[in-house]
Amino acid sequence: MSDQNPFHIAQQQFDTAADILGLHENIRAVLRVPQRELTVNFPVKLDNGSTRMFTGYRIQHNLGRGPVKGGIRYHPAVDIDEVRALAMWMTWKCALVNIPYGGAKGGVIVDPKQLSMGELERLTRRFATEISILLGPERDIPAPDVGTNAQVMAWIMDTISMHRGYTVPAVITGKPINVGGSLGRVEATGRGVSLVVREAVRRLGGDLEGLRVVVQGFGNVGSTAAYLLDQMGCKVVGVADATSAYCRPSGLDIGAMRTYTDRHSFRLLEGYHAPGVERISGAELLELDCDVLIPAALENQINERNAGRIKAKLIVEGANGPTTPDADNILAERGVTVVPDILANAGGVIVSYFEWVQGLQEFFWDEQDVNEKLERIIIGAFDHVWATAYARKLPLRTAAYLLSVQRVADANVTRGVYP
Ligand code: NAD
């Protein structure tokens, strides 16, 4: 099995673009590593009276284009190299959709499903305090990622606000609407994914009606993408989360599955039953007969072991880093189109940017306004990437990297090396 370290993969992807761009070795050295890394070890009081230590990270990859932006992940498999990779991918994503941010990411090694609400709140408030030396509306603005949600964002916003002595809504995005969140933010990543599927299918000469879609991951991104594509006429024939996977060749009832997960703790699909629905393994899900595959869970899900057996002709990356470089090569040889993460899932950070702008201006937009602006930006980036890939006969990922790495390099070179 080849190297699956996400940071090594992120560096390899960057190197490919840097080689094609002929990037000077000085700027290449700057962009290949994160600018700032903070590791925090901190205690949390548990409900049983004991205290447990946790480890978390906040990593800022590059500040050249503005304050840094990126989610906070709560997952037992978080490690520093995963957070480094996710921070680097955020830099390219923000540059690709041309919003004025650098990239960052945070994470805590924890399984949030094992904690009570009280423990989760105490962990969040202490972690926010530990990384508060980096945060601020003009410095570093976190958002939700795997294992975190709007409530966690509200606790972080409240914690930072308590320290400052006044409310600082723009220190974080993905907040609930009643504390300064943006309409459309919860659905934004999945909505962006569905728009990208629509555009890619059009370009490939297909039609959304009856298009067979498989979605891995049924959290914020996966369940929204599945729901919106179902509404757009597609047939979602398979979905999975960390607990279970289901398929139905005539199409799953995504609305019913969302209602099911809403009623159960941690929104899991485990135990779902419906006529004609077959339970399959997570590995089988990725290899189902379908037209479009949307990985929307974690990294390295599509790799050298299964890439040769994937039947979808189009893969749209809802997750960050779901496809390894080896799998990319196998898929390219087989004529499978892969729309890369930094483009496909950029809807989240685009609407996070809108939330930050609205918070700073204290002037809020209606949902239609948010969705229209999101569509304009993500489709504009899609067109740019598609045209570049076509003109230079490159995979979409490489084309996306050429555009974004060049933008980040230009900003850093223009600013110069201090002092
Ligand atoms: P989430 O925590 O809401 O959902 C994650 C889902 O993945 C859950 O359903 C979980 O059960 C499932 N999952 C975990 N391991 C799995 C496995 N091995 N097989 C199948 N399913 C598995 O997280 P999310 O916010 O939806 O994030 C999903 C992906 O999208 C991540 O890669 C994240 O970085 C990326 N992303 C999220 C956002 C956002 O706005 N939330 C934005 C851009 C990218």
**Looking only at Cα atoms, what is the longest distance across the chain?**
68
Pairing between β-strand 337-339 and β-strand 314-316 as defined by DSSP bridges:
parallel
At residue 266, does pLDDT exceed 80? no
Report pLDDT for 241.
Answer: 98
The CA distance from 332 to 164, in Å, is 51
- In this prediction, residues 405-416 reach a mean pLDDT of 98
- In this prediction, residues 223-227 reach a mean pLDDT of 98
Report pLDDT for 1.
Answer: 75
Mean pLDDT of the chain: 98
At residue 21, does pLDDT exceed 90? yes
Report pLDDT for 175.
Answer: 98
Q: Where are the beta strands (DSSP E) in 231-390?
A: 235-240, 245-247, 278-280, 292-295, 314-316, 337-339
End-to-end CA distance of the chain: 44
What's the pLDDT band for 60 if we cut at 50, 70, 90? very high
At residue 267, does pLDDT exceed 90? no
Per-residue DSSP letters for 241-277? Answer: -SS-EEE-TT---HHHHHHHHHHSGGG--TT---TT-
Whose C-alpha lies nearest to ligand 1, atom 14?
Answer: 242
Q: Please report the atom of ligand 1 found closest to the CA of residue 352.
A: 40
What are the structural domains of the chain? 33-176 (3.40.50.10860), 188-344 (3.40.50.720)
Report pLDDT for 11.
Answer: 98
Residue 323 has what DSSP assignment? B
What's the pLDDT band for 74 if we cut at 50, 70, 90? very high
Structure tokens at 69: 């932006």
Go through the chain and tell me how many residues it has.
Answer: 419
pLDDT digits (tens, 9 = 90+) for 149-166: 999 999 999 999 999 999
pLDDT digits (tens, 9 = 90+) for 25-53: 999 999 999 999 999 999 999 999 999 99
- In this prediction, residues 62-71 reach a mean pLDDT of 98
Per-residue DSSP letters for 92-109? Answer: HHHHHTT-S-EEEEEEEE
| Active-site position among 45, 69, 93, 105 | 105
Whose C-alpha lies nearest to ligand 1, atom 13?
Answer: 242
The CA distance from 317 to 300, in Å, is 11
**Ligand 1 in contact with 345 (CB < 6 A)?**
yes
Q: CB neighbours of 49 closer than 8 A, spacing ≥ 6?
A: none
Per-residue DSSP letters for 204-240? Answer: TT--STT-EEEEE--SHHHHHHHHHHHHTT-EEEEEE
**Ligand 1 in contact with 238 (CB < 6 A)?**
no
Distance from the alpha carbon of residue 220 to the mean position of ligand 1, in angstroms: 7
* Residue 105 annotated among the catalytic residues of the structure: yes
- In this prediction, residues 186-207 reach a mean pLDDT of 98
- In this prediction, residues 137-149 reach a mean pLDDT of 98
Pocket-testing residue among 105, 110, 145, 301, ligand 1, by greatest number of atoms within 8 A of Cβ:
145
Looking at the chain, the whole-number percentage of residues with pLDDT higher than 70 is 100
Identify the bridge partners of residue 70 per DSSP, sorted by sequence position. 142
Whose C-alpha lies nearest to ligand 1, atom 18?
Answer: 242
What's the pLDDT band for 351 if we cut at 50, 70, 90? very high
At residue 264, does pLDDT exceed 90? no
Whose C-alpha lies nearest to ligand 1, atom 4?
Answer: 219
What's the pLDDT band for 10 if we cut at 50, 70, 90? very high
Distance from the alpha carbon of residue 117 to the mean position of ligand 1, in angstroms: 20
Q: Please report the atom of ligand 1 found closest to the CA of residue 345.
A: 43
**Ligand 1 in contact with 87 (CB < 6 A)?**
no
pLDDT digits (tens, 9 = 90+) for 288-333: 999 999 999 999 999 999 999 999 999 999 999 999 999 999 999 9
- In this prediction, residues 245-269 reach a mean pLDDT of 94
